Structures are given as structure tokens and as C-alpha cells.
Amino acid sequence: MQTLIPSPDLTLTIRPGTAADADACGEICYEAFKAISTQHNFPPDFPTPAVAHGLISMLFSQPDLYYSVVAEVGGRIVGSNFLQEGCAIAGVGPITVASDIQNASVGRHLMATVLDRAQQQGFAGVRLLQATFHNRSLSLYTKLGFDVQEPLANIQGPPLNLQIPGYPVRPATEADLPGCDRLCQEVHGFTRSHELLATIRQGSATVVEHDSRITGYATLIGFFGHAVGETNEDLKALIGAAPAFEGSGFMLPSRNSHLFRWCLEHGLRVVQPMTLMSLGLYNQPKGVFLPSILF
């Protein structure tokens, strides 16, 4: 796709991304998140350039799961966006635009491209997480049709190293997939098998059991992990057993006052507020959950 941007003789091109774009896009990702977070006095989502580069390289390396697009102006890469395509609901992000070309509609075109892709692929819905303090992105996503669904608190702190009586936590295995899928289906109305299987194989996924059955699971208690459970006790057990809260921490729906208060009482802190937004199908969860930074 090509379109003129508000600069003489410059044309914006949106094209599919490739692994060769990882370095340039990783640098833009780091600088863009750092700039907006610093402007609002929040810590950046990516503490170092290496973390941002690692994430972007991983996304580009899995085209079967992540559809990627890159924005170019005058042959220079100025932004990128991704669409997670592993289940019935697609997840958007991270979307980033070079700081010196902000407010030139690049972000809008990157979003429109992945939303067109989601429609063509027949996804029932699309979701994303938005930094609540970022007014421009909130306005853009709302104009594009997204609805605010859930206020979130990004939580971080030292590992709790505690156990909830009657709710043992153990590493997940591939034999647990049917039980975890059943649980996710009951809570959200769809499964996230692809993500769960990948994290089981990586060794980060955990399950919690109660009355000799799986009542909760987490792909990771951290920025890029999600969790579901039947009750707050299940999520307390998963959070309490986590060896660390990876990345910038985990996302907790702040309307879940009981779990939110429990985290604060155990010494965890709020890093930043975030917002879960959706386009298309959205089922109100019938259980408790922690979304990932994608959804």
C-alpha cells in the first residue's frame, strides 16, 4: 500500500515484514516506547534495546503465528506492526513508529493494514492492550472501532515464594493441554492452544490443581504470558509460585479488587495503568484471568 504523508515528495509504503527488518524495527520499538513512557514519567516497557530487539526478532521469526507489516518512507523503515494469529481471536501489537515521524498517520495505516488482514482471515475478534496514559493511541483505536473492555494494572515486584493451601502448582505438560483448553474455553469462549503448547515446550507454563483437577494455568506470569482460572485462589497460587514476573510484570484486571488488593498486600506494586480493548466479538470472561500484553 502507498499513500502520501504530510511532507513534500515523500510516500509511505506498507509492506509485509521479513526477518531482515528486525534490527531496524527493534531499534524503533525501543526508542518509541522509551520516548512515550519518559514523556509521561513511567518506566519503559522495554528496559534495554536488547529486550526490544529480542522480541521483534522473535515475532519476525514466526510467520505462522505473527503476521508482520513494515512502514517505509523514502526507503527508510519508520515503523512496524504485528498481528498474532494463533487462535480464533487475533491480538495486535506491538505497533511502533519512529519518533521523528509521529502524527503523520503512519500508525493509522499500520493499524488499518493489520485490521484488513484480520478481516480477510475471518477472525471473530481483535484485541489489544493500550497504555492508558497515551491519549493519542486511545483516540486512534477508538476511531478505528475498538471498545474499552477492561482497566488493567501492570504489576511488578519480587517473587512471592508462597503456596496457597489446597492449590498445588506444577509445571505444565502436553498431557495437560485438553484440561487447559477446556478451562480457557469456559472462561473466554475460545482456546489459546498454540501459545500454551509453545510455552510448555519452553518450560515456562504452569498449572494449578484443586480437588485433583486442573483449575488454572499460566503460560507465564509476566508481560508476554496469560493465565486463566476458575477462582482467585487459582490465580493467587500461580502468582505465588512464579519464580519472577518476567519483563515489565503481569497484567491484572483492576476491577478484580480482591486479587488486586491481595497483590498489593503482598508487596507488589503498580507499574502503570493499561486498557484492554476489543474489536468484534468479545465475551465477558466467566472466570478470572490475566491477559498478556497482546490480549
Q: What is the pLDDT of residues 194-251, one digit of tens each?
A: 999 999 999 999 999 999 999 999 999 999 999 999 999 999 999 999 999 998 999 9
Instruction: Report pLDDT for 42.
Output: 85
Instruction: Report pLDDT for 4.
Output: 44
CATH fold, domain 155-290, is Aminopeptidase (3.40.630)
Please tell me the distance from the alpha carbon of residue 56 to that of residue 8, in angstroms, as a whole number. Answer: 31
Instruction: Report pLDDT for 165.
Output: 97
259: enclosing H helix or E strand: helix 257-265
Pick the CATH number of 2-123 from 3.40.1160.10, 3.30.2350.10, 3.70.10.10, 3.40.630.30: 3.40.630.30
Please tell me the distance from the alpha carbon of residue 13 to that of residue 109, in angstroms, as a whole number. Answer: 9
What's phi and psi for 239, nearest 5 deg? -65, -45
Instruction: Report pLDDT for 99.
Output: 85
Q: Consecutive sets of 10 residues in the chain, 295 residues long: mean pLDDT of each?
A: 52 94 94 87 84 90 93 94 95 92 84 96 96 90 96 98 98 98 96 95 97 97 96 98 95 98 98 96 95 92
Please tell me the distance from the alpha carbon of residue 184 to that of residue 227, in angstroms, as a whole number. Answer: 9
Instruction: Show me where the domains of the chain are located.
Output: 2-123, 155-290
Instruction: Report pLDDT for 7.
Output: 55
Q: What is the pTM of this model?
A: 0.91
